[in-house]
Structure 1
Amino acid sequence: MGPVRLGLDIGATKTLGLVLADDGVIKAEVREPTEPGADGVVRTAAKVVDALRDAVDEPWTGPVGVGVPGLVDVERGAVKHAVNLGLDGDWVPLGDLLGDRLGAQVVVENDVNVASLGAAALSGEDDLVYLSIGTGLAAGLVLDGRLRRGVHGAAGEIGHVPVDPMGVYCQCGQRGCLETVASGSAIAAAWPSTDLPPAQALFAAAQAGDEKAIAVRDRFAVGVAEAIRVLSLAVDPRTIVVGGGVAQLGDQLRAVVAAALLDQAASSPFLASLDLAGRLRVVPADRPVAAVGAALLGR
């Protein structure tokens, strides 16, 4: 049996770790609730890695890869503005802190970037945009097989492109950003739910014929389509993959976004020729793309 790699996807509610073989087979997975704060994040991650080591009696090579929300300085392995993790002050040297705890090298990357790497690996595509629709809205870019971070690490921050000068204020300080209409938090604000996740509740109500739900769902779909259109016109990827928490809706999500893309292209032969709806894919619910991408970081 060949060597394996370890990858962690650290989120606000859970940390998912996995062991990945060189042939792409996932050998083990472990989930733990994420404790907030620097000490809590390190403690949770270490617990997951210890459990993975116990689960797989095989040598592992290379660094432990970590995907984490927020602004990431890849060279230093430092994280900032990961508010949902309780890391909202100065730079936190997460790579060093976790490396000292594990006795191993740790490579840290933004969670959407590692998810785009995972999506590329699992799909076999080397030219794609990964659009993550979770609490916020952001994209990862894998272009000709290479991850594009940007000079300031801001490549793919599509959620903060303003589209409505009269829209609500965004947490970034601008007004009417795409994230305010095309994200999980936007759905939660427009369609609050106590018994189901808001996106599931909204789509179920729309499916049942609720006119208000249909209007909210369709406005959300138009916002996602606008994000895809902007990204596609900027970098023209071969494939557009939608992931993140809202992507748990699966083909329901793909269908309404594809319909919005087709509607936008109906009056534009140019847009129609690009076939954006035909390039659209949704990550299957059982594919842990972020953890897979994290495991590939040291490659």
Structure 2
Amino acid sequence: MRVGLDIGGTKIDAVAIDDDGAPIESLRLASGFGDLAVLTNAAEALARLRDATGHDFESIGVGIPGLVDPSTGRVRHAVNLGFDDVDFGHDLSALTGVPVSVENDVNAAALGAYHLMGLDGPVAYLNLGTGLAAGIVLDGRLWRGARGVSGEIGHIPIDPSGFVCPCGQRGCLETIASGSAIARQWPTGAEHPAQALFAAADAGDPEARRIRTALATGVAAAVRILVLTVDVESVVIGGGLSHVGPPLLECVRDVLDDWAAQSEFLASLDLPERIRLLPEGLSVAAVGAAMLGRPESVLRA
């Protein structure tokens, strides 16, 4: 039995899986703030899972935001969790006595989506959250690239006169197609800003329609990049913006259909048919993290 933790800014989703990758027990705790609090709560989640299943764990996997060194388990710049440079994998292993693998949360989610959705071939998980990034899975195994930046397509500049990106470049894809892009252009007190944007656009607000079109165009560009660079068979759209649901998918497909009408080459790629939404309720990052303990789950560069 293996266990995975999806550690976010507010919660820890924990799941135990069997040898086939099927979830058999899960729970959720608050993540806390600061390295000691997060480590303590992670250990508590693991203890509760152990009690619930009645089994010890062969391995522990962690999906976590920030800059992650999977070879050491060290996590840097996890600002939403309140720490900057922590040997998280080593520290959690010392607390539990079980080997711990640590991975960026988007990569973990990509691996989990591949298995829980029953996908085949090369797959990209396109995470539309505060930022934009993708995880790549090639025939069931996570691909990190030579230096761990595979899938960081949010930092591909597409508009030289656009907004400055947190990465220091200007006009990156992330500045157009992400939660932060919506927040900058459509300030609102709504609990779900993207859904409020789509509702305003449907109601005829011209500025909301403009922003929605730019968002859909940016997501479509991300899909095109992933297909043209890796030729993935499927692009799964997840992250906070995916909760907009079918209206987001419809808008992105409309853009891709328009491009296909202008290019026989793009039409031949069937881009609209390659994208799908992550189904609600799937703990993909936690399940993907749990699978990190299986040696065959990661491709080596």
TM-score > 0.5, shorter chain as reference = yes
Gaps of at least 5 residues in structure 2 are 295-301
TM-score (normalizing by structure 1): 0.94
Counterpart contact for 1:248–1:284, Cα < 8 Å: no
Q: CA deviation at 1:239?
A: 0.8
Match of 1:263 among 238, 258, 270: 258
Paired amino acid for 1:227 = A
Cα pair 1:77 1:95 within 8 Å, conserved: yes
Deviation at 1:293, TM superposition (A): 0.3
Aligned equivalent of 2:81, options 46, 64, 85: 85
- Which piece of structure 1 moves more, 130-139 or 46-55? 46-55
Q: How does 1:173-188 map to 2 (within 5 A)?
A: 173-188=168-183
Counterpart-to-counterpart distance in 2, 1:141 and 1:68:
17
1:196: how far off? 2.3
Q: Distance in 2 between matches of 1:223 and 1:20?
A: 36
Moved more, 127-136 or 32-41: 32-41
Give the aligned residue type for 2:22: V
Alpha-carbon distance between aligned partners in 2 of 1:116 and 1:56, rounded to the nearest angstrom: 26
Structure 1 residue identity aligned to 2:170: R
1:97-116 equivalent positions in 2, closer than 5 A:
97-116=91-110
Moved more, 185-194 or 23-32: 23-32
Distance between the aligned counterparts of 1:249 and 1:56, measured in 2? 35
Which range is displaced more, 123-132 or 134-143? 123-132
Would you say the 8 A contact 2:115–2:140 is kept in 1? no
After superposition, residues 34-113 of structure 1 pair within 5 angstroms as 34-57=31-54, 59-88=55-84, 91-113=85-107
TM-score by length of 2: 0.93
Name the SS for the 1:216 alignment partner: helix
Calculate percent identity across the aligned residue pairs.
54
For 1:108 and 1:25, locate their aligned partners in 2 and report how far apart those are by CA, in whole Å: 20
Within the alignment, does 1:32 sit opposite 2:29 as a pair?
A: yes
Report the alpha carbon displacement of residue 248 of structure 1 after superposing the two structures with TM.
1.5
Per the TM alignment, residue 60 of structure 1 is displaced from its structure 2 partner at its CA by 4.1
Instruction: Provide the C-alpha distance between the structure 1 equivalents of 2:51 and 2:146, rounded to a whole number of angstroms.
Output: 40
Offset at residue 261 of structure 1 (A): 1.4
User: 2:199 aligned to 201, 204, 214, which one?
Assistant: 204
Deviations 1:50-95 (A, max 9, x none): 22222222x244211100112211111111122222233xx42100
2:299 aligned residue: none
Deviation at 1:114, TM superposition (A): 0.7
Matches within 5 A, 1:1-299: 4-57=1-54, 59-88=55-84, 91-126=85-120, 127-299=122-294
Letter in 1 for 2:79: V
Q: Is the 8 A contact 1:6 1:20 kept in 2?
A: yes
RMSD (Å), alpha carbons: 1.4
Tell me if the contact between 2:57 and 2:98 (Cα under 8 Å) persists in the aligned partners.
no
The offset of 1:284, in angstroms, is 0.7
**In structure 2, the residue corresponding to 1:124 is in which secondary structure?**
coil
CA contact (8 A) 1:116 1:129 kept: yes
Deviation of the 1:122 alpha carbon: 1.1
Quick check: 1:131–1:243 contact (8 Å CA) kept in 2? yes
Give, as a single letter, the amino acid of the residue that structure 1 aligns with 2:236.
V
Decide which moves more: 157-166 or 77-86. Answer: 77-86
Q: Is the 8 Å Cα contact of residues 250 and 283 (structure 1) preserved in structure 2?
A: no
Match of 1:166, SS state, is: coil
> What is the Cα deviation at residue 180 of structure 1?
0.6
Q: How many residues are aligned here? A: 293
Instruction: Identify which of structures 1 and 2 has the higher relative contact order when contacts are C-alpha pairs closer than 8 Å and 6+ apart.
Output: 2
